[in-house]
Structure formats: structure tokens, C-alpha cells
Structure 1
Amino acid sequence: RSMTLGILTQNMGGHFYDSIAQGAIEGLADSGYTPLFVDGGWQHTREVASIEALLSRKVDGLLVVGGRIGASTLVKYKNQLPLIVIARDIQGLEGQCISVNNKQIGYLSTKYLLEEQHSRIAFIHGKENHPDAQDRFAGYLQALREAGISQSEELVYHGDFSGQAGLKAVNHLLDQGIYFSSIVAANDMVAFGSRLALYRRGIRVPEDISIIGCDDQEEAALMPPPLTTVRQPSYEMGVAAAKALLSLITTKECELPKLEPALQIRESVSQFTGS
């Protein structure tokens, strides 16, 4: 054994992926294994090249976080070495994947705003064709349907997961004269950008516009006002995945917990009163 484990992550420096990485490091503590990190950058060819580079280093196991590599390719790697996939569910790798229900994230966010009497709910979409973004949007639509509210295309802004996307989305909606009372942001960074755009225009949060994010970054609790968001158990996913990989290596068996998102209610959402 090389006593090394390969970890293919995405977009190092982003809260979600870095939190998973920190969890994986914690999960490997005292195991004697050294993690080797590579960044796939959400590019299929780069991800495959990165995994091949890890295999050339004779890693004893592999954690794959997100990414664009197809199911058949991941199953091929599974047949070469112990493998756990994080933040994706892969057919053919049942029992070796751990993820969070992104549709539930979009649903929880939107349902909470609906419960606070909001009906004109803007949705700032994450990166185009990103499965997490698509699933969160599906949750948003489900909550609207259950409330008997038709989706309004003008309330959906297609951006990405950056703060700049939040800035651009809010400016676009306001410049177009599109009325909305609340925002479901793709993640906390988008929520931060949205908050800044509203601040620059003299629009108050939550008195005028309510905002809800996703991730529960540390900064979310420090934003003025503190951000209501949906917490993803990203750190816990990293810990659980690393421990499961160690178990696969030593016993050829593993068990992964089912982790759920949770609404973190703070001060960026208020009940809509129609004023």
C-alpha cells in the first residue's frame, strides 16, 4: 500500500467543496493515510486526467466530489480501486455514494417564503446545466405548484454560484421593473451579492425584500441582517465519505449515512404584509 488516498474535488476555494475537503481530512485523521488533492474544475477531460494522475501515484482509494465524469467511467474506476462518490448519486455505485437532496433545498427555501405569505418569489439559478442548480430549481417549482402558484418566467434569472450573479440578477429584475417580494438564491454567495445590490439601491432587507440562501457559510450569520439559509451538511459528508473509504479498503464493505438539508432561520426573511 502507498498509504495515500486520492481526492478529486472541484473549484478549490469555494465554500461547499472546501468544507467537504476539510471533513475528509478530519475523517482520515489518525488513519495513517495522506490525502492527495486534485481539482477537476468541472471539466470532464481535466477530471479524467486528474484521476489518471492519482492512479499513477498508486493511491489506495479514491474520493470523487461532484464533477462531470459519467457513470460508466466511475464504475470502471470502482473496479480498479475502492471508490466513494460525494455529492452525486451514480447508478452502478449504489451504497458508495453520499449526497444531499438538492431538490429538497429548493423546496424548503420556497416553502418557507410561501409560509411567510410571499408569492412573487424570484429565483436566482445556479450554473447552467449544473445538476445541483437544476434540482434546486425543481424544488422551487414543486413548492409553487403545491401552493397553486403558476411559475413566472420573468422571476427566474439564470446566473451561476457567484456573488456577481446575485448583483446582476437583482439589478436586472429592478431595471426591468419586475416586481418581487423575496429571493431564493442559488447559494449564500449569490445571496450576499443580492443583498449588496439591494443595499446600493436603498432597498431594505427584510423590510422590503426577503432573501434566503443555501449552504450556511460562516459569513451567513454575520451578514447584516444575518442570512436565513438552508444548511448543507457538506463537512459531515466529507467525514462520512472518508471513513467509508477507509472501511472499503480494510473490509471491502462500507456504510454511508443519509444526510438531510436543514433550514436555518435568521433575520433576512420577514412576513409579507403587502405594503
Structure 2
Amino acid sequence: MADTPHSSGPSTLMDVARQAGVSPSTVSRILNGTAKVSDDKRQAVLAAIEKMNFAPNQMAQGLKKGRSMTIGIVVQDISSPFFDETLRGVDDGLKGTGYASVIVSGHWNAEEEADRIRLLLARKVDGIILLSGRMSDETVLSFSGQRPIVSTGRALQTRSALGFKMDNEHGAYLAVHHLIELGHKQIAFISGPANNSDAAERLAGYQRALQEAGIPIDDHLIVEGNYHESSGMLAMNRLFDTHQQFTAVFAANDLSAYGARLALYRKGIRVPDDISLVGFDDLPGSSYTTPPLTTIRQPLYDIGRIATQALLRIINGEEARGAVPPLELIVRETTRRVR
């Protein structure tokens, strides 16, 4: 193999070919995975790439394949730490692929989500990741006929669409079962919005755990929230205003639990000495609340990373597949055995 003359500029595909003693087309075919060459020749090209620190122009390669090398991401609330953690997984899933992301927000509105997807399609993205949302499955499948879509929070499985849905009912069951094992029988529930499918499933898990334990469901202990901190605080205050008796609270997400914790603090009620508290999500901040929050861990980062990998497989014509870890109970310091 001939040494390449020193150059202050970036190495090119021609330089790599010269260094490896092969044709430029062979280098190109090895890079895009279509070359049928001997192992010796392949190793020579890879060694040349490493030696010369060659970085192929991913955008140029994408354009040759009719791709924009961009992925559209639809989130519901850019300011939410829930979506922030998932986006971190998406970002890591794109590292080293040559793809860039375009992020838009649907604001939990089905029409706005659809408008944002049309905007992304007009920008010629190669695929779309839909993080939760209110659109119907039928609408998502319709859009997937134009570009591949991977969505969280729904169960889909077609050649151009894949969904990752967590078992919210089981997660809520684990939370309430934990409280019941600690001897709690009067367990309040701060739910999510009534028109949210995840919230409905978590309510069902709360009810199943009580029913299996032979504990009557008291509708007065169920207060609707909206997944934000303020709704957790307001829901807790409503429970106090109506003089409900309870020894534990299960909040349908960690943000609601944060608000509930503040309301308890302002009433001089100690957690967990007086009332136990459980959340749902295991946001990064839940390890640092006072005291650290017992919660149900959703693998938010893993969901983002695995959804991204699945979308790239679909774009490359491979099978749409992927699985995320199950939900699990994380016991910290906001729960204790009932006095």
C-alpha cells in the first residue's frame, strides 16, 4: 500500500482508496455495506479509514439515496422533564448515524400534532418519532404511509409503523400493592386527565390492587389532576377540604407527587411518618426530593433510544422491532409501614 502525501485538509474517499490500494468505488461500497470483497481487502480499507481519520460525508451519501438525513420528533411538552429524559435517549440513539433531529411540539392536541407531522413531511424528514399524544391510531397509520413512524404510548405493528406501549395498569398496581403490603388501606389517588389513556390505565391498576386486597374503592379518595405539579398540590388540598381520611397517597406521575408533597409540607404533615407517598415515572429529580420519592420507574431514556433505533431500521428497509425494559417499583424514603 502506498502512503498518502501529507495534507492539511480533511482526508477524502480518494485518499482512503489510495492508502488501501483499492478503487474509490470499492471504498464507497464497503462504507454503505454493499461490497462483496475479501476480508483482507475489507480490513485494508478499515485500517486506512482509521489511520487517516476519515469521516464520510453522511449528508452527501443520504442525498444519493434520496434521503434528507433528518428525523422529525413530535413531543407534547418541551419543558417537561418527562420528555426531556426521553429526548436524551433519542439524541444518543442518533449519535454516529449522520442523522439530525427536528423537534416540534403537539401540546397534547390531536389537531396540532397532525399539523406538526404535516410540517415535518413537507420538510422531507426520513421518519418521525411521535412521543405520546392524542392522535388516533388510524391517523398515525395514515401518516406512516408517507414516512415511517415510531410512536410511544400506543401499540402498533406494521411495516412502516411501530408502537412502544408501557403497561401503565401494571405499574399502578405495583405502586398500590406496595402500599397495601405496608398496611395501608385508606389510599388516596391523584389521577391524570380523564381523557388520557395512560391515566385511565393507571386508575384501573389502582382499583385492581384494592379489589384484590378486599379493600372497598372509595370514590371520594380519587381526585383528578393533570400531570402537573400545581394539580398535585390542588388535588391534595381538595382532599383536605373535604376532610377525607387516608394514610397514603398514590400520584399518577412524579410531577403530581411533587405538588402533593408541597401541600403536605404546608399542612405540617410529615412524609412518610404521617402519610406515605408514591409517584410514577422516576424522573431524575425524584432521587433528590425531600425525602427521596418512592415511585414506579419508566425507562424513559431507554424508550427514546430504542424507538430511534427501531425507526432507523425501518428507514433502512429492515424489520420494525424493538422492546423496552418493564416498569419497576423503586422504593426510596417516602413510604413506610402504617402506624
Q: TM-score, normalised by structure 2?
A: 0.78
Deviation at 1:258, TM superposition (A): 3.9
| Structure 2: distance between partners of 1:115 and 1:131 | 27
Aligned to 1:112, which of 178, 183, 195? 178
Deviations 1:60-106 (A, max 9, x none): 11111111111111111222222211122247689711121111111
The question of whether the paired residues in 1 share the 8 Å contact of 2:148 and 2:160 is answered with no
Of structures 1 and 2, the one with the larger relative CO (CA 8 A, separation 6+) is 1
Aligned AA for 1:32? Answer: G
Query: Aligned in 2, Cα 1:70/1:196: closer, same or farther, shift over 3 Å?
Result: same
Aligned to 2:262, which of 196, 221, 227? 196
CA RMSD of the aligned region, Å? 1.5
Aligned AA for 2:237? Answer: N
Aligned to 2:110, which of 44, 59, 67? 44
| Structure 1: distance between partners of 2:71 and 2:285 | 31
Match of 2:71 in 1: 5
The reply on whether 1:99 has 2:160 as its aligned counterpart is: no
Match of 1:151 in 2: 217
Aligned AA for 1:257? Answer: A
Deviation at 1:138, TM superposition (A): 0.5
Match of 2:130 in 1: 64
Aligned AA for 2:250? Answer: V
Deviations 1:132-168 (A, max 9, x none): 1111010000101110111001100011111111111
Please show how residues 161-200 of structure 1 align to structure 2 within 5 Å. 161-200=227-266
| Structure 2: distance between partners of 1:16 and 1:240 | 16
Query: Aligned in 2, Cα 1:195/1:93: closer, same or farther, shift over 3 Å?
Result: farther
Deviation at 1:175, TM superposition (A): 1.8
Alignment partner of 1:77: what SS?
A: helix
The question of whether the paired residues in 1 share the 8 Å contact of 2:192 and 2:225 is answered with yes
Deviations 1:192-223 (A, max 9, x none): 11111111111111010000001111221111
| Structure 2: distance between partners of 1:263 and 1:22 | 22
Deviation at 1:125, TM superposition (A): 0.7
Q: Which moved more, 1:46-55 or 1:89-98?
A: 89-98
| Structure 2: distance between partners of 1:68 and 1:170 | 27
Q: Which moved more, 1:261-270 or 1:10-19?
A: 10-19
The reply on whether 1:124 has 2:205 as its aligned counterpart is: no
Alignment partner of 1:5: what SS?
A: strand
The reply on whether 1:259 has 2:330 as its aligned counterpart is: no
Alignment partner of 1:251: what SS?
A: coil
Q: Which moved more, 1:222-231 or 1:114-123?
A: 222-231
Deviations 1:18-50 (A, max 9, x none): 211111111011100111111001111111110
| Structure 1: distance between partners of 2:126 and 2:160 | 20
Q: Which has the larger radius of gyration?
A: 2
The question of whether the paired residues in 2 share the 8 Å contact of 1:10 and 1:42 is answered with yes
Alignment partner of 2:214: what SS?
A: coil
Deviation at 1:234, TM superposition (A): 1.1
Query: Aligned in 2, Cα 1:141/1:91: closer, same or farther, shift over 3 Å?
Result: farther
Structure 1 segments of 4+ aligned residues over 2 angstroms from their partners: 90-95
The question of whether the paired residues in 2 share the 8 Å contact of 1:215 and 1:232 is answered with yes
| Structure 1: distance between partners of 2:153 and 2:110 | 16
Gaps of 5+ in 1: none
The question of whether the paired residues in 2 share the 8 Å contact of 1:100 and 1:259 is answered with no
Q: Percent of counterpart pairs with the same letter?
A: 39
